[in-house]
Amino acid sequence: MIHNSDMTLEVQGLSVSIHTRKGTTKPVNDVSLRIPKGKIIGIVGESGCGKSMTARACMGLLKPPVKIESGRILLAGRDLVGLPESDMCAVRGSEISMIFQEPMTGLNPVMKVGRQVDEAVRVHRHIPASKARQETIRMFEAVGIPEPEARYNSYPHELSGGLRQRVMIAMAMICRPALLIADEPTTALDVTVEAQILRLMKELNKAGTSILLISHNLGVIAQVCDYVYVMYAGQILEEAEVCALFDSPLHPYTRGLLESVNSLRREEPVLETIAGSVPDFLHLPQGCSFSPRCGQCLERCASGEPPLFEPEPGHKVRCHLYDKDTSRI
Amino acid sequence: MRQSFLRRLAESVVILIGVALLIFIMLRVVPGNPIEIMMGEHANQSTVDRMTAELGLDKPIYVQFFRYITGALRGDFGTSYSLGKPVSSLMRSAFGNTLKLSVSAAVFAWVIGILCGVLSAVRAGGPADHIFMGFSLMGVSMPVFMTAMVLQFFFGYYLHWLPISGSGSWRNFILPAIALGWNSAGAISRLTRSTLLDVLQEDYIETARAKGLTETTVVLFHALRNTMLPVVTMMAIQFSGMLSGAVITETVFSINGIGRLSVLAISGRDIPLLQGTVLFSTAVVILGNLISDSLYSVLDPRIRREA
Amino acid sequence: MNRDKLLQLMRENKVAVLSALVILLFVLAAVFAPFLTPYDPKEMDILHRLSGPDAAHLLGTDEGGRDILTRMLYGARVSLLAGVLPTLMSMLLGTALGLLSGFAGGVVDEIIMRIADVMLAFPSTLLAMLIVYTIGGGLTGVFLTLALVNWAGVARVVRAETLRLRGSVFVTAARSIGVPQTRIALRHILPGCIPTMIVLFTLGVPSAILTESSLSFLGLGIQPPATSWGLMINQGRQYLYTAPWCSFAPCVAIMLIVLAFNFLGDGLRDALDPHLESK
C-alpha cells in the first residue's frame, strides 16, 4: 500500500496474541486504524475489548507473553513493528506519547513531578538540565497548572487528581509528539475535571497534535472525536465520522451501546441493555463474535465471520445485515 | 515527622529500661553466690564478705539496680569477675573487632544481595533467576556455623588461601564476613527481587517506559529507588543485628568481638560482663530499629511531608 | 476445605508436598531409630575412631568410634522434638496472651505488648543464651528456653489478627445478638486465627531447631551423653580437618529439615492465605 502523507499513524491488520499454558488468545484481531493529521480519533468499547492492548502495541509496550502476531504500524510511513528496542525508545515519548487512565499511580511517588517531566525532554533532546527545567515550567503553564515554578518541586501525592493528569499530559506533550494516545484519560476523574481535561486535549489538538482517544464513555467520545472506531472482542465492528455514528448507528452492538446511554437520558422506565457479557477470549463464539448477544442474529452469523461492509461512504460495519449480496441472506 | 520520631525515641527508651530490668532480674535469680564463684571454693569467708560489701551486693536489689543503671549511663558497667578488667574497656576493644566484621559482612551482603536480586527480577523466570534464587535459598537456610565451617574447611584448610581464625589482619575478616553476610545476602536478594517485581508492575513504570526511557534507565532510576524502601529497612536491621555481636561467627573464627565476649561471660559465670554485653547488644538492636524507621521516612516523600 | 481442593493445591505446590515427605521421612527415621541401625549410639569403639564413611559405617565414626549415622538418628529425636515441642508451648502461650491483649485492650494490652516489645528487642541468640544461662542447660532447660524466646512474636501476630477479626461483620453481628465476650473470643475469633497459627507453627519449628543447634553448638544447650545435631557438630568441630564428616553430616541434616519446613510454611501460607503482618 502506498503511504498516505496525510496520515500520522496507520495501523494495518494488527493482530496481538497471548500465549499461555491454557492456550493462545487474540485480544486484538486484524485491527486497522487510520489517524489523519490534526484529527482526534476515538476507540470505544467495553473493558477487555482490546482497545488498551491496541494502544500499547502502537507504543511498543507489549511484554511477553503478549506479542504482535502480524500487521503493520506505520508512523509517518515507517513501520514500527519489529523495530529494535533502542529505536523504539527514541520514538516513544518523542514522536508518539501516551497518557494513562490512573493519574494517581501513573507518577513515580518518590520523584518530584518536575523532574519526571523534564526527564522526557532530556533523554530525547539531550539539553542541559536548566534548560529542560525552563521548558517543563513553560509546559506546565501551557497545560494550565497554576504556580508552575512551585509545582515543579512537588511530589505526586501533594497534587490533586486533575493536576496529576495535567502533569501526565505535560510529560506526554513536552517533546511535541505527532501523536498523543490517551487511554481513558478522564475515567478516574470528577466530571468537572473531566471537562477541563477534554478541553485541554482539544486545544492541544488545535495546536497540531493528532490524538487517539480510548474510552468506554460514549459521551467523552462524542464531545471531542472526529472519527470513531467501535471495538468488540478484539475486532473493529463499526467505524464512521462521529456524527454519522451517533445519528445512524449501523451495527446492533453500537445501537445497543447508544440505547443504553439514551434510555438513561429519556428516563424511560425500562433500561435498555445489551444482554449477556463480553465473551472470554479463550472461548470466542464461532462466526460473528457478537452473535450470542445480538437481537438480530441471522443463521449464518453463527458460522461465518462477517467482513467489513461499507454501506455508506466512510461508514464501515462488520455485520452480515449489511451484505449487499442479498442472495446470501 | 519530628513528632513521630520523638514518640518512637521515647518508646525505645522505655523498651531499653525494660530490657535492662529484665537482664538484671534474670541474672540475680541464677543460683550460687557470684563472689564465691569469682573467688573459688576455698575463699576466706571474711574476704567474701568484704568483697560483697565492696561490690554493693549486700544492698537491697532495687538499690543495686539503681546503681547499675546510673553507672551504665556514665559508661561504667562494673568490673568483670573472670577477667579482672572494667567491663567497659573490654567491650570497647571487642567492639572494634565486631565493627570490622559487621561492616565487611554488610558490604558483602548488600552488594551481592542487591545485585543478585535485581538481576533475578529483570530476568525473572530465566536461568540466572533460578541460579541466584537457589543460592539465596541456600543462604537463608544454611545455619551460620555450617557456612562458617565449610568456608574454613575449603578456603582455609584445603586451599590455604585465607587464614582460618584470628583477627590480626584484614585477611582474617574475609571468611567470617562471607559466613556472616551469606545469610543476609540471601534475605536481601529475595526481598529485592520480590519488591522489584512488584514495582515493575506499577503504572508509573509504564509511564516511564512511555516516555522513551531505556529499560536500564527505567529499572535503575525509577524502579530501584522505590524498591529500596523496604530493602533499606531490612539492611539497617541486619546491620544492627551484626553489630550486636555475631555470637556464632565470632566463636567459630575466634574473633574477639562482643558476641564472643558474651560466650566467655557465660562460661565464666561472669555476671557484670554478661550484663554489659547483653545490654549493649540489645541497645544496638533497638537503635537499629529506630534508625531503620527514620530512614524509611527520609526516603519516602509521602511519609516525610505528611507527618 | 474439601478433599478435591486439597488435592489440587498439592498438585500446584509440588515443592511443599515434597517438603512434607522429607519431614515425614525424618520423623519416621527418628521414631524407628533402633530398628534402622545395628549400632548403639553411646557404645564406644576405640579401634574404629574417626574412620571415614565405608560399608560398615555409612557416614563414618566419631572420636569415640561411635557410628555417626546412628547418632544422627538418635540425635534427630532431640533436634526434632526441640523444634516441635517448644514451638507448641510458645504458640499456646503466645496465642493466649495475644488473644487476651487484643480482646481486653487497655492496660492489660499495654502491659503484655510492652513485655513483648522488650522480648523482641533482644538479638534472638543472645536472648536464648541469657535464658538458658538463668534456668540451666540440658533437655528441659533448652526446651523451656526455646518456648520463652518465641512467644512474643506469636502474641503480636495473634493480637493483630484478633483486632482484625473483632472489627469484622460476623463478630459485630454476634455481639449485637448478645453473645458473651468469652464465647466470642473462643468460638468466633480463635477459629479465625487458626490458619495464621498453622503457618506460624510451620515457620516456628525450623527457627527453634536452628536456635537449639546454635545453643548446643556453643556448648550451652543439650549436654552429653544426650545428643542432638547441634551438639554433634560442636563435638566434631575439633576434628574438622581430620574427620570433616563428623560435623558435616549433621550440618546437612539441619539444613535439609530447615529448608523443608520453610518450603512447607511458604506453601501453607499461599494455600491458607492468612493475614500475616510482614515485619
Residue stretches of chain C with pLDDT short of 50: 277-279
Of all residues in chain A, the one with the smallest CA distance to B204 is A106
Burial class (CB in 10 A: 0-12, 13-18, 19+), A161: middle
* Cα-only R_g, chain C: 22
Selection from A139, A144, A61 nearest residue A96 by Cα: A61
Whether residue A87 lies within 8 A of chain B, CB to CB, comes out as no
C-beta separation of B300 from B111 below 8 A: no
Provide the pLDDT for residue B107.
Answer: 93
State how far the Cα of B247 lies from the Cα of A279, in Å rounded to an integer.
Answer: 62
Listed as own residue / partner, the contacts of C116-119 with beta carbons closer than 8 Å and 24 or more positions apart are C116/C152, C116/C153, C116/C155, C116/C156, C117/B11, C117/B15, C117/B18, C117/C152, C118/B15, C118/B18, C118/B19, C118/B22, C119/C149, C119/C151, C119/C152
B274/C244 CB distance under 8 A: no
Tell me the chain A residues in contact with residue B218 when contact means C-beta distances shorter than 8 Å.
Answer: none
Selection from A120, A101, A155 nearest residue B218 by Cα: A120
Provide the pLDDT for residue B237.
Answer: 85
Provide the pLDDT for residue A326.
Answer: 58
Provide the pLDDT for residue B115.
Answer: 92
pLDDT digits (tens, 9 = 90+) for A64-86: 788 888 888 888 888 888 888 88
Tell me the chain B residues in contact with residue C262 when contact means C-beta distances shorter than 8 Å.
Answer: 140-141
Provide the pLDDT for residue A304.
Answer: 78
Whether residue A92 lies within 8 A of chain B, CB to CB, comes out as yes
Backbone angles phi, psi at C122, to 5 degrees: -70, 145
Tell me the chain A residues in contact with residue B214 when contact means C-beta distances shorter than 8 Å.
Answer: 85-86, 89
How far, in Å, are B46, B52, B57, B269 from residue B34 at the CA level? 15, 9, 9, 8
C-beta separation of A79 from A73 below 8 A: yes
Position with higher pLDDT, B240 vs C36: B240
- Quote the cell numbers at residue B203: 503504572
In three-state secondary structure terms, A81 is: coil
Paired residues of A52 in beta bridges: none
The domain spans of chain B are 2-73, 90-306
Residue B22 binned pLDDT confidence (cut-offs 50, 70, 90):
confident
Provide the pLDDT for residue B144.
Answer: 87
- Quote the cell numbers at residue C174: 454476634
Q: How many CA atoms lie within 13 A of B214 on its CB side?
A: 9
Backbone angles phi, psi at B19, to 5 degrees: -60, -45
Dihedral angle, C-alpha B205, B207, B209, B213, nearest 10 °: -100
Provide the pLDDT for residue B118.
Answer: 92
CB-nearest partner of B245 from C115, C126, C259: C126
A91/B212 CB distance under 8 A: yes
Look at residue A2 and tell me whether its pLDDT is greater than 60. no
A107-121, A277-291, B176-190, B194-208: which range is least confident on average? A277-291
State how far the Cα of B132 lies from the Cα of B186, in Å rounded to an integer.
Answer: 9
A110/B226 CB distance under 8 A: yes
- Quote the cell numbers at residue A312: 455508506
The CATH code of the domain at A4-95+177-322 is 3.40.50.300
Q: Residue type for C133, please? A: Y
Helix axes B271-299, B61-73, angle to 10 degrees: 50
Provide the pLDDT for residue B306.
Answer: 46
Position with higher pLDDT, A104 vs A15: A15
Tell me the chain A residues in contact with residue B305 when contact means C-beta distances shorter than 8 Å.
Answer: 155, 157-158
C83-242 domain in CATH 1.10.3720.10? Answer: yes
State how far the Cα of B273 lies from the Cα of C130, in Å rounded to an integer.
Answer: 12
Provide the pLDDT for residue A266.
Answer: 54
C123/B149 CB distance under 8 A: no
Of all residues in chain A, the one with the smallest CA distance to B124 is A64
- Quote the cell numbers at residue B96: 572494634
Whether residue C124 lies within 8 A of chain B, CB to CB, comes out as no
β-strands A309-312, A315-317 pairing: antiparallel
Whether residue B226 lies within 8 A of chain A, CB to CB, comes out as yes
Provide the pLDDT for residue B109.
Answer: 92
CB-nearest partner of A100 from B207, B215, B226: B207
DSSP H or E run through A204: helix A191-206
In DSSP notation, A243-296 reads HHHHHS--SHHHHHHHHHHHHHHTT-SSPP--SS-PPPGGGPPSSSTTGGG-TT
Tell me the chain B residues in contact with residue A116 when contact means C-beta distances shorter than 8 Å.
Answer: 207
Backbone angles phi, psi at A109, to 5 degrees: -65, -20
Provide the pLDDT for residue B40.
Answer: 63
Tell me the chain B residues in contact with residue A102 when contact means C-beta distances shorter than 8 Å.
Answer: 203
State how far the Cα of C79 lies from the Cα of C228, in Å rounded to an integer.
Answer: 5
Whether residue A85 lies within 8 A of chain B, CB to CB, comes out as yes
State how far the Cα of C13 lies from the Cα of C19, in Å rounded to an integer.
Answer: 10
B212/A123 CB distance under 8 A: yes
C-beta separation of A227 from A37 below 8 A: no
Instruction: Look up the ipTM and state it.
Output: 0.82
CB atoms closer than 10 angstroms to residue C160: 18
State how far the Cα of A284 lies from the Cα of A306, in Å rounded to an integer.
Answer: 15
CA C210 from chain center: how many Å? 8
- Quote the cell numbers at residue A233: 472482542
Whether residue B22 lies within 8 A of chain C, CB to CB, comes out as yes
B141/C255 CB distance under 8 A: yes
Q: Average of pLDDT values for A316-329? A: 71
CB-nearest partner of B149 from C121, C129, C240: C240
Interface of B with C in 143-162 (CB under 8 A): 143-146, 149-150, 152-153, 157
Q: Average of pLDDT values for A50-59? A: 87
CB-nearest partner of C241 from B14, B145, B153: B153
Tell me the chain C residues in contact with residue B289 when contact means C-beta distances shorter than 8 Å.
Answer: 121
Provide the pLDDT for residue C124.
Answer: 84
Tell me the chain A residues in contact with residue B211 when contact means C-beta distances shorter than 8 Å.
Answer: 92-93, 97, 119-120, 123, 171
Provide the pLDDT for residue B113.
Answer: 92
pLDDT digits (tens, 9 = 90+) for B150-204: 888 888 788 878 887 777 777 888 889 999 998 889 889 989 998 999 898 888 8
State how far the Cα of B105 lies from the Cα of B110, in Å rounded to an integer.
Answer: 9
A119/B204 CB distance under 8 A: no
CA A168 from chain center: how many Å? 16
C-beta separation of C82 from C142 below 8 A: yes
The CATH code of the domain at B90-306 is 1.10.3720.10
